[in-house]
Structure 1
Amino acid sequence: MSNSNLSYFNSPALDMKIVMGDLNANVCSDNLGFEKAMGKHGCGSMNENGKRLMEFCSSNDLIVGGTIFPHKDIHKKTWYSPNGRDRNQIDHLMVNGTWRRSLQDVRVMRGADAASGHHLVMAIIKVNLRRTGKKKNMLQPRFNVERLREQKKERKFWITEETWQAIDRRKEVKKQVVTARSDRLKEKYKTKYQEANKGVQKKARANQRAFIDNLANQAEESAKKGEQGKVFQLTKLISGKYRGNASAPIEDIQGKLLTTEAEPDVRWAEHFNEILNRPPPTTQADIQEAEADLEINLEPPTRQEILAAIKSLKTGKAPGLDNLNAELFKEDPDLAAQLLLPLFSLIWEGKKVPDDWSEGIIVKIQFQRRDL
């Protein structure tokens, strides 16, 4: 049994389960014997894979979304052959019967420029969740500091303007293919679209190679200058973000797999208790007295010192318990320094650091090993 099957059967019974993909299964409009697995709005005639799909859906309480909603055939058939004559509904999206009412619509989006013989399939799902009540001692909501940054179009920045123009031209040809009335015009525009698609892919590959070469040269120059931070940023930009599995299984000290929701939290508490709460050292440290006393400024902090400290803050860091990011202070350093000066002066005169400043948050970062 594959990992996908194991994930499906091991998931909680009340969760919404969605199965979708190119299944190469034709389903028809006759749902006799499979009333719970499909509707009456399928296309074509059922093949062997379609029968297997219906048996799988019937035994696992799934329903094929593309057969429920009435649409024109052009909005239900998901695949067309290279010659343009054969069209079938072989890409499907299924949802478990418990969440059938949450599925609002399923239809084909023919206008999407996907450069494929398959059309995109869009599903509209509306989920109404029940409120569980307000939790006590909840942390303050985080500020969306991304809004402070310059808003840019979500385009791949390594693609040149010339390539984007070629992509726009390809989209126009795609529209001509979809709206063509006669088979002769459709074949003509398909040939034109294939040529435009080849040109776009060739330009995009050239842009990507030039972009990677440029980053490699920058990283090499930064390594020669000893700028390790910039080397790390460039390496992260090339390799992309790592998306680890935050809910990976955890084992206890004896190697037993923890399965319930409460057991991993208890194991994490034991793990940090073993690491952080160690006995004091048996031998005292031998600290030599300084040869000369350092000159320390004992005057209260000034506005200029606070302003300099704000400007030196690093962005992109996680906030503390107050959920105040460095970006919020650096957005208007003068105003932030003006607001912080009375607070720092009061703390300086009172000679007591607030208790909140001595607290921290422990973030668990799990690697490939499951045992702690």
Structure 2
Amino acid sequence: MPQGLDMRLVQGESKTLLLPLANLLSSKVVGTAIVYGKDNPERKPGPTVRRFGVVLTAPPCKKVLVTETENQNQTQHQDNNGDLPSGNQTGQMNAHSTTRTSLLRPKQSCYIGAWNVRTMYETGKAAQIEREMNRYNIQILGVSESRWTGNGIITTNSRNTIIYSGREDNNHREGVAIIMTPTAKKSMIEWEPINERLMTARFNGKYVKTSIIVCYAPTNDAEEEQKDTFYQQLQKAVDKIPTHDVLLIIGDLNAKVGSSNEGREKSMGKHGCGTINDNGERLVDICELNNCVIGGIIFPHKEIHKKTWISPNGRDSNQIDHIIINGKWRHSLKNVIVRRGADVGSGHHLLLPKIRIHLRKAVKRSETTRIKYHTARLRDPGIQKKFSLTLRNRFQTLGDIGEGLENNWNAFRDSIIQTSADVLGTKTRSDKDWIQLDTWKLIDKRKLLKQKKHNARSERVTAKYSKEYSECNKETKRKLRKDKREYFEAKASEAEEAGKKKVNKEKFSKSHENYLGNITAEAPS
């Protein structure tokens, strides 16, 4: 559950906003609810009610904006794995946000992926997705079938931001989301949750802005009325996009477009897979109507690098996930390829396009970055022993550097830095604190089994690796749940001890709040 702000729609004629008690303990609330309406745009909020926090009640309205508290603590850095964010949160960006950066820049590639992960309502799933994002240097990932309810925006412990849109009936089906890095988050202008199958987001750019529509279309066997409704809503979303923007329609569209592009050369390439189906006809029609191009079928690749879905039996595969770009910026799409090495326990592969805007030479700015070493690896006894031995050998050579305090300090510092770089390596991703090292090794083992299954040449070997992969996947999920439970139990004990000793009241309140928030989110809804 997002702990910064909980917004619920209650019975009756009003909307209720709840600010948790922890926010009142850690900072002074300086904001209120601002209500916009047709009849009375300046109408003041309703009465204030105290109930384990502050409740602001207002009459029904189009938009509800809540100003920031002094410490800007509306969205906490939290663990998002297996937690279902509840309640409806506004998709409006704060009017006092910081200066936005550029998402697409000239001569600089940007990776905006699309992936059906089957579910994010599962313990440890978001951590695995973020890990693959860091591995493939993905700035923005459009997620289909997230299975989160409601809509809102949250920030994870890895400083990534997730905006999501799901069902309103508390049924964990469908759902779409966008996961973005801190850099991409700074460039976001606005976003809009439409329903459990569509959401849009707009990002700033130095020369051109980017609008992204994330989709999760009904299957080809769905009812005609359901498919008609989806494509009508998609067309309405496209109509709202400014014509000068780079338009990207990404996600699981459940559409086979085939390899024949006769009479449709402007919207299709000739490198598709299979035969076009009804969903494919609908998708091509909407592309021709809006001068868009299906990017996954205009680049020549092997079949395995174009098909995005594999059936549970491992025999059938199709190209049903797509990246679509408007024709005006067609040449900015440099490549679209399936990354089969990415694995989060889903039957779909990661679809990754490479986008680069060519306008003029970009001005390169020199930035000094702080190097972070992977100190978490010292938990491994083998790596700890290797680090100590390497550092001891370097210290033995310090006697030959001569005299002088400055020389001794430089040699001491360089020894530690060089040993950390050689043994630990730099920190390339933000690990979840509660996930143990052996659990990450188990996740790597599962990924290796997936590669072996895809490279198998016979059905007997494929069946063998499929069975091993299934068992490893179950063991990984069990281990993730165990690690998370042990981590938060330890945090709760630490917070209680700190409370007994009356040490650092603010730290105790924050730790206890994070523990209760995650325990509440794990409860079945």
Distance (whole Å) between structure 1 residues aligned to residue 512 and residue 237 of structure 2: 33
3-state SS, counterpart of residue 157 of structure 1: coil
- Alignment correspondent of 1:20: 250
2:441 to 149, 156, 165: 165
In structure 2, C-alpha distance between the alignment counterparts of 1:19 and 1:235, rounded to whole Å: 41
Paired with 2:246 and 2:475, the residues of 1 have a C-alpha distance of 42
Matching residue within 182, 194, 197 for 2:470:
194
1:148–1:108: structure 2 CA closer, same or farther, 3 Å change rule? Answer: closer
Deviation at 1:117, TM superposition (A): 0.9
Letter in 1 for 2:507: K
Contact 1:16 1:95 in 2 (8 A): yes
Structure 1 pair 97–188 and aligned structure 2 pair: CA distance change class (3 A): same
What displacement does 1:223 show? 4.0
Letter matched to residue 27 of structure 1: V
Which of 152, 156, 168 is the aligned partner of 2:427?
152
TM-score with structure 2 length normalisation? Answer: 0.41
TM-score by length of 1: 0.56
Taking structure 1 as reference, are residues 148 and 48 closer, same or farther at Cα in structure 2, changes over 3 Å only? closer
CA distance in 1 between counterparts of 2:513 and 2:367 reads: 25
Residues 20-99 of structure 1: pairs in structure 2 closer than 5 A:
20-99=250-329
CA drift of 1:29 comes to 0.8
2:485 aligned with 1:209, yes or no? yes
The change in CA–CA distance for 1:121 and 1:236 in structure 2 (over 3 A counts) is: farther
Deviation at 1:142, TM superposition (A): 11
| Match for residue 228 of structure 1 among 493, 505, 517 | 505
1:276 aligned partner: none
User: How many angstroms does 1:12 deviate by?
Assistant: 2.2
Give matches, 1:1-372, under 5 Å.
4=200, 5=234, 8-130=238-360, 146-147=370-371, 152-154=427-429, 155-224=431-500, 225=502, 227-231=504-508, 233-234=510-511
1:102 and 1:125 in contact (8 A); partners too: yes
What whole-Å deviation, never above 9, does each CA across 1:167-215 have from its counterpart, x for those lacking one? Answer: 2222221221121111221121111101111111110111011112222
The amino acid of 1:51's aligned partner reads E
Residues 235 and 94 of structure 1, relative CA distance in 2, 3 Å threshold: farther
Moved more, 158-167 or 226-235: 226-235
Return the offset for 1:132.
Answer: 10
Match of 2:421 in 1: none
1:227 maps to amino acid: N
Q: Deviations over 1:113-161 (max 9, x none)?
A: 231111111111112355899xxxxxxx997675488853522221112
Q: Give 1:54 deviation, angstroms.
A: 0.6
Residue matched to 1:279: none
Describe the SS at the equivalent of 1:17. strand
Give per-residue Cα distances to partners, 1:19-38, cap 9 Å, x unaligned.
11111101111112322111
Equivalent pair of 1:111/1:178 in contact (CA under 8 Å): no
Relative to total residues, which structure has the larger helix share, 1 or 2?
1
Which protein has the bigger strand share? 2
Percent of matched pairs sharing the same residue: 44
Q: Gapped runs of 5+ residues in structure 1?
A: 134-140, 241-372
Most deviating of 172-181 and 215-224: 215-224
- Amino acid in the other structure paired with 2:317: R
CA separation of 1:132 and 1:126: change in aligned 2, threshold 3 A: closer
| Matches of 2:490 and 2:359, distance apart in 1 | 48
- Shift in CA distance, 88/148, structure 1 to aligned 2, threshold 3 Å: closer
Q: Give the AA of the match of 2:255.
A: A
Q: Which has the higher contact order (CA 8 A, sep 6+)?
A: 2
Structure 1's 231 and 98: CA in aligned 2 closer, same or farther, altered over 3 A?
farther
Please give the alpha-carbon distance, in whole angstroms, between the structure 2 residues aligned to 1:236 and 1:128: 48
CA distance in 1, matches of 2:352, 2:461: 27
Q: Is the 8 A contact 2:333 2:354 kept in 1?
A: yes
SS of 1:104 mapped into structure 2: strand
Aligned equivalents of 1:152, 1:64: Cα separation in 2: 37
Aligned CA distance change for structure 1 residues 162 and 147 (closer, same or farther; 3 Å)? closer
How many angstroms does 1:47 deviate by?
Answer: 0.6
Cα distance, 1:81 vs structure 2: 0.8
Task: Describe the superposition over 1:260-306 as per-residue Cα deviations: whole angstroms up to 9, x where unpaired.
Answer: xxxxxxxxxxxxxxxxxxxxxxxxxxxxxxxxxxxxxxxxxxxxxxx
Instruction: Return the letter of the residue paired with 1:60.
Output: N
